[in-house]
Structure 1
């Protein structure tokens, strides 16, 4: 039985395909559209999933979409009667929802290449139940507490549940307009980072500051007696007549989320081009601290309710890897599972599994322990693409390796020699992180590596950290009390005696967002790091996503284009190594 899950009509649209309860394919539309967090309908992602499975639209048995505009209707009516928003605001939002609900069958039929009449049954799954399903039903746990935290979806921003087998018992919810996601994004915008998904920049900047604005920011999101929270609405616009969001041209935007009251409280907003001052860094640090306080309070109450030691997290809040790495130290939970597409891209996965388990009552047979669910490509076209470059023979050398050992050995040597390498092999990663199939790699021992990649490869802010990919068996040697997370979703302290050894992947506060690399699920990448360890004694490489202010590369053509326009020294496309001639001359 094939079930297609989709996330549509807002940011991070995506598709996931199950066959008899096992994941076959999952991919985000942005990888094809080349627009970060693209909104709209995941037409190309759907077609990619079908192609990977070797089926067409007529072979599908069910389709699940992760939105339900009719959900929480009573709460919506109560909010309208209490707050009396303008008729224009109500009309705009109602019209938008109506168009999306009644247009989905047309969009789906076009994506599947079949008539509307031939489309399989369509299930609407509410946003937060889809988040909860995406977290628990692919986890290794038969029983766990489950929590989803995001900005808002179908009138809910936070939900908690107890997952047992194929059942999910919802325990609590926080409804519109109160939202930790809105709180974090509003301050992100105030700090001069206006784009959808910029929250991770503020998270990376926070360790450079001091928490000197705690009292002010705590007042924006006061706690409730039940362990949840509310927003002090005078500081926020998302619930008022003045707020507008947009998905124009596929680019999602939440609109300005804060009011002038915020500037009166903590000072003037920062324009994107303004200098980052200590005040801005202190606000970022205070934001992260207050966010963590509220999250841990929610999770501690959840543990009190469930009395289980395992936790699954989802929603955009579950992409806050700094908070994730502190959960076990600040709550009684002993194990934490966060699947790699915990944000709204994971709604596609959750909607499909909600139908499989909770609607069809089918047993669990799948555990997500790797991220490689997208398309793959060969390297046949690489020589032709490189050969068409001007002065290709003088500028580039390319070699095809028939032996993986030789390829990994050569690449490890280049990294050890200080070269920055694009690494493109196997199926595309599912989720926001590049985890060894679409990665840029470098030597973590060189303190100048971070600045070089930020300034000459990624062209991004200098305060942005890079992640360590580490052999799973070496995690305890380099990190303090770290769970060996294969999905790079948790930040942990680097051991003091190791910080000088791997400065390029140790953040200013002595932490790293680690990826534990397992031989059984990521064998070639594990071999590459092992070869590097044999050369240097360090079982770690610097890993960042293979892109440059764009979505992660999907095809060899995109990978080579990124290589040509940046300061990378070499690129591996499957079994072919392409080097700039200066690299070969130096080795």
Structure 2
């Protein structure tokens, strides 16, 4: 049984294929289109997935879409009548609904087949059920509480539930216009970060400030007695104007969300070219703090409601790795699972799993600890590319490769590391990574000068051998997807300054030899030479989606000042 799972007509479009409950392949459309957060129909990802699975669309039995136009219809109509939502937004919603309802036609056009040839049954899986399934059914837990939090999907922003075996029971939800994700995005825009997906910049800026405005923000977002929250609608435009989102040429864009009332209360918004002041830093810290407080409040209530010690967290807000790192110490939960793609891209996987496990009543498969589900290229293909471009290279065995790469890092070099299948999700996890020496105080400057050119307040992350997490971090947990931020132990911060943020934290990836032996062995070789079982790991890109192919990796290497490029066991040094 082949299932094609899709996240379509929304930011972070993606596709995946399951065969009898086993994930064969998954990828985001942005990797092929080269546009961050690409929105629309994931035609290139679909073609890639079918090709990798070595099947045609005629072999697919089920197609799942992580949107259900019929979800919350009554609530939508009541809101439209009550709030008088603008005609333009209503037209946008109708057009989006029509696209969702024409998946077979879109598939036929994309794949060059007739619509009648596509025999697969189409299943519209409600957005947050797709999120919840992407976490629980991929987790190691037989039973778990589940929290899904994002901006909006199918008129819902937050959903809680319980997973048992191959079933998910929804307990409650928060619906439009109240949204923790929209709260965070609104202040992201207000702080001068206008682009879709810029929320991580506020998270990176927050440690530079003090949460002085938390009490003031409590008028913007309020705790409710039922364990959730509500927004003060006066601060926002979306309750009456809707969340207007467009994607010209696939680039997702959200209209301004903050109202004149918010400006009156918090002052003039920062423009993206304006310098950052202490006031901006303090507001970022306050937004982050109250977001964490809301998450912990919901989780405390959920634990009381379920008495279950396991928690699965998903949705766009689950990308807030700072909050994630505090959950086990700030709530009663004892074990946590967050998928590698908690954001909307992961709903392609979630919709397929919800169908297979919950609706078709099929047994669950092994937990997802391996995020490497994307493109892969052979050494022969890479060599043909380099010969075509007349690039001088060496083909090495593993031992030679580890030795030369670690020597380059120790000498202050920056290395592009391209291996195996690309990661699924927003993080580079040792397959499409740029690496550096964590012991250097100047790594941030080196990386920004040579490659990244990004804001100085944004930290770089550590990849650490799994068995050394307890030696370097205050908390001990498996963090395979770089999904949590932990405090680095005080006596270790001087050893790894390049990955120690201003508040003494690091967004770690714990590297498991059984999951990723080659990356593990590289870090281990670095440890053998330096005594430090850590590397700086940032995504292999230059203000673009993470590189997907050898050509893209080579292009990035040639246009930047990277010192070395490694693709599989092929090594290229800059002249």
Tell me which interval the TM-score lies in, with the shorter structure as reference length: over 0.9
Tell me which residue corresponds to 1:436: 430
Bigger drift between 459-468 and 115-124 goes to: 115-124
Contact 2:190 2:270 in 1 (8 A): yes
Contact 2:9 2:100 in 1 (8 A): no
Report the Cα offset of residue 575 of structure 1.
1.2
463, 475, 482: which is aligned to 2:476?
482
Tell me which residue corresponds to 2:198: 198
Q: Deviations over 1:254-288 (max 9, x none)?
A: 11011111111111100000001111111100000
Report the Cα offset of residue 217 of structure 1.
1.5
Report the Cα offset of residue 384 of structure 1.
6.0
- Secondary structure in structure 2 of the residue aligned to 1:252: strand
Report the Cα offset of residue 386 of structure 1.
5.0
Report the Cα offset of residue 409 of structure 1.
1.9
Q: Distance in 2 between matches of 1:517 and 1:437?
A: 12
- Shift in alpha-carbon separation, 1:98–1:310, aligned structure 2, 3 A: closer
Report the Cα offset of residue 118 of structure 1.
2.2
Unaligned 5+ runs, structure 2: none
Q: Distance in 1 between matches of 2:465 and 2:242?
A: 50
Q: Which structure 2 residues correspond to residues 117-516 of structure 1 after superposition, within 5 A?
A: 117-119=116-118, 120-241=120-241, 244-380=244-380, 382=382, 385=385, 397-401=392-396, 403-516=397-510
Q: Distance in 1 between matches of 2:202 and 2:450?
A: 21
- Shift in alpha-carbon separation, 1:182–1:423, aligned structure 2, 3 A: same
Tell me which residue corresponds to 1:55: 55
Q: Deviations over 1:8-42 (max 9, x none)?
A: 00100001111110111110000000000000111
Q: Deviations over 1:472-502 (max 9, x none)?
A: 0101000011312111000000000000000
Q: Distance in 2 between matches of 1:77 and 1:385?
A: 55
Q: Deviations over 1:164-190 (max 9, x none)?
A: 001101011000000000000000000
Q: Which structure 2 residues correspond to residues 553-564 of structure 1 after superposition, within 5 A?
A: 553-564=547-558
Contact 1:184 1:291 in 2 (8 A): yes
Q: Distance in 2 between matches of 1:249 and 1:99?
A: 19
Q: Distance in 1 between matches of 2:182 and 2:80?
A: 19
Contact 1:318 1:338 in 2 (8 A): yes
Report the Cα offset of residue 89 of structure 1.
3.4
Q: Deviations over 1:427-456 (max 9, x none)?
A: 010100000000000000001001211232
Tell me which residue corresponds to 2:103: 104
Report the Cα offset of residue 385 of structure 1.
5.0
Q: Deviations over 1:68-113 (max 9, x none)?
A: 111011211222232232444323422x234313332211223444
Aligned pairs, how many? 574
- Shift in alpha-carbon separation, 1:168–1:417, aligned structure 2, 3 A: same
TM-score where L is the length of structure 2: 0.98
TM-score where L is the length of structure 1: 0.96
Contact 2:203 2:320 in 1 (8 A): yes
- Secondary structure in structure 2 of the residue aligned to 1:159: strand
- Secondary structure in structure 1 of the residue aligned to 2:25: strand
- Shift in alpha-carbon separation, 1:243–1:340, aligned structure 2, 3 A: closer
Q: Distance in 2 between matches of 1:86 and 1:515?
A: 45
Q: Which structure 2 residues correspond to residues 519-538 of structure 1 after superposition, within 5 A?
A: 519-538=513-532
Tell me which residue corresponds to 1:585: none
Q: Deviations over 1:295-344 (max 9, x none)?
A: 11111111111111111011000000000000011100111101101000
Q: Distance in 2 between matches of 1:292 and 1:240?
A: 27
Q: Distance in 2 between matches of 1:478 and 1:328?
A: 18
Q: Distance in 1 between matches of 2:2 and 2:386?
A: 40
Q: Deviations over 1:358-412 (max 9, x none)?
A: 11110112310111001101243555655676xx7xxx752111x2122112111
- Shift in alpha-carbon separation, 1:231–1:134, aligned structure 2, 3 A: same
Report the Cα offset of residue 243 of structure 1.
5.7
Q: Distance in 2 between matches of 1:262 and 1:398?
A: 57
Do structure 1's residue 64 and structure 2's residue 64 form an aligned pair?
A: yes
Q: Distance in 2 between matches of 1:226 and 1:569?
A: 55
Q: Distance in 2 between matches of 1:384 and 1:167?
A: 49
Report the Cα offset of residue 459 of structure 1.
1.0
- Secondary structure in structure 1 of the residue aligned to 2:197: coil
Q: Distance in 1 between matches of 2:534 and 2:424?
A: 22
Tell me which residue corresponds to 2:36: 36
Contact 1:21 1:366 in 2 (8 A): no
Q: CA RMSD in A?
A: 1.4
- Secondary structure in structure 2 of the residue aligned to 1:414: helix
- Secondary structure in structure 1 of the residue aligned to 2:297: helix
